[in-house]
Amino acid sequence: MIYTVTLNPSIDYIVEVEDFRLGGLNRMNRDLKLPGGKGINVSRVLNQLEIGNIATGFLGGFTGRYIKDWLAEEGISSDFVTVNGDTRINIKLKSGEETEINGAGPEISDTEAIALIHKLEALQKGDIVVLSGSIPPSLGKNFYDRLIAVCKQREAEFVIDTTGKPLQQALVHGPLLVKPNHHELAELFGVTINTREEIITYGRKLLEAGARHVLVSMAGDGALFITEQAVYYANAPSGQVKNSVGAGDSMIAGFVGTLSATGDVQEAFRAGVASGSATAFSDDLAARPFIEQLRSVIQVTQL
């Protein structure tokens, strides 16, 4: 079974305004409310791929109920810890450029944090846990370490999709996959990356630090997949980018879901790129027919 963990979910409130004027009255052309949070995005795309999964993390208040009801409507199993505060709302204002206003999220108590740890104690050998996104300040910077410790105790695999120190701390524990984009990879090592060869060099450093697979997205330039045995490149399919939210999460879903179903890393890489691209070209997250359409035009080449 695949589990996704979202520590700070949200309702993503997407608002389109033709000519936004700060300080004036603005009227929406269109708005959309979607369940947000990196792990929740992974669950929704896994569901499109018909890969069984359970979404967990923290939800609270009327906003949390909205997310839980949405997932249930889509047929996604969930097992969230209910918290006292309201799950946050993130505003995505589209008016020419996109402006984001992200909520802080609720305070998570020690009791609520321990309740999530207890839920993961039901993991079994071979399960995969996807840990995605930022850690709420109330949980402390090392909370992912506590969740990873449970995964290791239960002999479950884990995927980590975060940045900075939490990612660096997780590498020593041998994550199944890490997925920085090329900007995040450069930031992680405090360097400037200008070439594909430099991406491969620093991607291999993540392997040396403990990661088992490294997937680096390069937007319109495609993606690189780096293992101990080989380096693969996949082209980016052509299309109009509509959605900057969730493409990386969709890539993880496509990769992890296909790897768990087939064991084929190259096919998992192809599915990951197809899923990420399908989301980038859609208003919401990728739907299966579009993923399959793009999968057929993606070429994976060993470098």
3-state secondary structure 3-33: EEEECCCEEEEEEECCCCCCCCCCCCCEEEE
Q: What is the largest CA-CA distance in the chain?
A: 58
| Angle in degrees, 0-180, between the axes of helices 182-189 and 196-209, rounded to the nearest 10 | 60
Q: What stretches in the chain show pLDDT beneath 70?
A: none
Which tokens go with 271? 């599915």
pLDDT at 233: 95
Q: Does CATH number 3.30.465.10 belong to domain 2-302?
A: no
Q: Are 172 and 142 in contact (CB under 8 A)?
A: no
Q: Are 147 and 153 in contact (CB under 8 A)?
A: no
pLDDT at 297: 92
pLDDT at 267: 95
pLDDT at 50: 95
H/E element, 268: helix 265-280
Which residues does residue 57 pair with via DSSP β-bridges, in sequence order?
Answer: 6
pLDDT digits (tens, 9 = 90+) for 256-303: 999 999 999 999 999 999 999 999 998 789 899 999 999 999 999 998
Of the candidates 110, 249, 264, 284, the residue annotated as catalytic is 249
Instruction: Provide the strand spans (E) within 60-127.
Output: 77-78, 81-82, 88-95, 97-101
- Count the Cβ atoms, other than its own, within 10 Å of residue 166: 19
Which residues does residue 177 pair with via DSSP β-bridges, in sequence order?
Answer: 159
Q: Dihedral of the CA atoms 104, 168, 254, 181 (nearest 10)?
A: 80
Residue owning tokens 């603005």: 26
pLDDT at 220: 80
Which tokens go with 13? 């409130």
Which tokens go with 194? 């200008």
249 carries an active-site annotation: yes
pLDDT at 303: 87
Q: Are strands 88-95 and 53-59 parallel, antiparallel or unpaired?
A: unpaired
pLDDT at 239: 85
Q: How far apart are CA 149 and CA 231, in angstroms?
A: 30
